[in-house]
């Protein structure tokens, strides 16, 4: 079991926070037996300074009641999430596609035909896993964009 200050604990927390921000729910941590660390609030609740009078706004600290603004904010959030997920999908895809050769020789001047076949890199299982992960991420990205488009469609039909 990882101690509260360990690297695996920090990574687990980062994954949970990213899941909450991207997908709207936390992934339950996989833990062994033992007590979980107490929940700490990392930032104290300081009073926020009031905004200067020259700035445009309605002066409310709560979310805007205007339906147009709420729709725009929701669409923006879906688009940003989609962009983030798409970025992850691109990383997975780029791990699959070999880089274009810039010359006929490998590193150190060794001819391409002299390179061993073991240097291809990924096993078939790894290629399948990366392909599946990239596909799922691309589909998730498109799903998020579809949600934003549904919101826009409902807004335009009003």
Can you list the residues of the chain whose pLDDT is less than 50? 1-2, 53, 117-118
What pLDDT was estimated at residue 17? 77
3-class SS of residue 105: strand
For the chain, where are the E strands, in sequence order? none
What pLDDT was estimated at residue 137? 95
Pairwise CA distance, residues 80 & 72, whole Å: 12
pTM of the prediction? 0.49
Q: Cα angle at 110 between 105 and 116, to 5 degrees? A: 105
Distances (CA, A) of 26 to 75, 81, 90: 21, 15, 23
Check if the beta carbon of residue 92 is closer than 8 Å to that of residue 129: no
Q: How many CB atoms lie within 10 A of CB 89?
A: 20
Q: What percent of the chain has pLDDT over 70?
A: 53
Pairwise CA distance, residues 88 & 130, whole Å: 11
What pLDDT was estimated at residue 109? 54
Q: What is the DSSP letter of 23?
A: H
Alpha helix (H) ranges present in 24-116? 67-96
What pLDDT was estimated at residue 61? 52
Tokens (6 digits) for 98: 């070999």
End-to-end CA distance of the chain: 54
């Amino acid at each position: 079991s990882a101690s509260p200050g360990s690297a695996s604990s920090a990574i687990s927390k980062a994954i949970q926070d990213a899941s909450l921000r991207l997908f709207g729910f936390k992934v339950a941590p996989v833990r062994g037996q033992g007590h979980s660390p107490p929940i700490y609030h990392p930032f104290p609740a300081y009073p926020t300074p009031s905004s200067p009078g020259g700035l445009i706004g309605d002066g409310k600290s709560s979310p805007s009641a205007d339906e147009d603004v709420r729709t725009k904010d929701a669409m923006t959030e879906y688009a940003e999430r989609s962009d983030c997920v798409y970025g992850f999908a691109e990383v997975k895809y780029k791990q699959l596609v070999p880089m274009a050769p810039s010359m006929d020789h490998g590193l150190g001047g060794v001819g391409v035909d002299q390179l061993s076949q073991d240097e291809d890199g990924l096993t078939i299982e790894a290629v399948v896993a990366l392909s599946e992960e990239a596909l799922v991420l691309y589909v998730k990205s498109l799903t998020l964009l579809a949600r934003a488009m549904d919101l826009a469609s409902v807004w335009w039909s009003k």
